[in-house]
Amino acid sequence: MRVGVTLPTFRDDAAFLEAAATVERLGLDGAFVFDHLWPMGAPERPALSCFPVLGALAASTTRLCFGPLVARVGLVPQEVLEAELLSLHRMAPGRLIAGLGTGDHLSAQENRAYGIPFAPADERRLVLAGCARRLSSAGVPVWVGGGATATTELAADLGVAVNLWGGQPAAVAALAARVEVTWGGPVDGDVPAVTAWLAELRQAGASWAVCAWPRSMEAVAEAVSLLGAR
């Protein structure tokens, strides 16, 4: 199981660059960026734009996998989203992971605040499927944000990974027998607690664990070392 972290982008400075350098120095596998117009439920707070941040990561790191977790279809036209991701793939061959999601009722308010249509779920899944096929054919690994059963089934049909945000190990294990499963979500506690949690996810069959808002990058790296996850 590979292990990454999310970077601090719900702020108005470039702290993510130093954080990414630390992630790479510590030997972790990936750094991921949220694609939101503001932090969930807090429209008064700042949020750095996802794709410029990813471009900076492509230029400033040499080894890390990186990508959006997840890029929501419908915020920009499908052709634009595909072009953004394929450009990053060309900038850093073999390192981009294209996390894609349909969004849900919690993210719909972001669209509506800026006058961006929020299409019905079936239409959003259709757009996601088109993006996933084009990116996969270009050699870009794709993770589809799971949640709705129909979206999970779509990922299985496409032959791409499902990302379970905050899913329990039992949910990971239930899917891992028939589709690649990656995990992402908040990770709390001290190093022994993080180590135990990563061990459960690995045992359940997760191919990746992306730790969100970790207490420290160093704590995650120590947990990985104790676990022997790499």
pLDDT category at 148 given cuts 50, 70, 90 is confident
Would you say 82 and 73 are in contact if contact means Cβ atoms under 8 Å apart? no
140-144: average pLDDT:
98
- Residue-wise pLDDT for 159-182, tens only, equals 999 999 999 999 999 999 889 999
Domains of the chain listed by start with CATH number: 2-227 (3.20.20.30)
Q: What is the pLDDT of residue 147?
A: 78
Cα 29 → chain centroid: 13
Pairing of strands 30-33, 2-6: parallel
Q: What is the pLDDT of residue 146?
A: 85
**Measuring CA to CA, how many Å separate 145 from each of 73, 104, 161, 178, 219?**
11, 11, 9, 16, 26
Would you say 98 and 123 are in contact if contact means Cβ atoms under 8 Å apart? no
Q: What is the pLDDT of residue 104?
A: 87
- Residue-wise pLDDT for 68-98, tens only, equals 999 999 999 999 999 999 999 999 999 999 9
Alpha helices in the chain (DSSP H): 15-25, 50-60, 78-91, 105-113, 121-137, 149-158, 169-176, 191-204, 217-227
Return the residue matching tokens 């993080």. Answer: 194
Q: What is the pLDDT of residue 230?
A: 46
Neighbours of 129 (CB within 10 A): 19
Nearest to 157 by CA among 125, 191, 110: 125
Arithmetic mean of pLDDT over the chain: 94
187-213: average pLDDT:
95
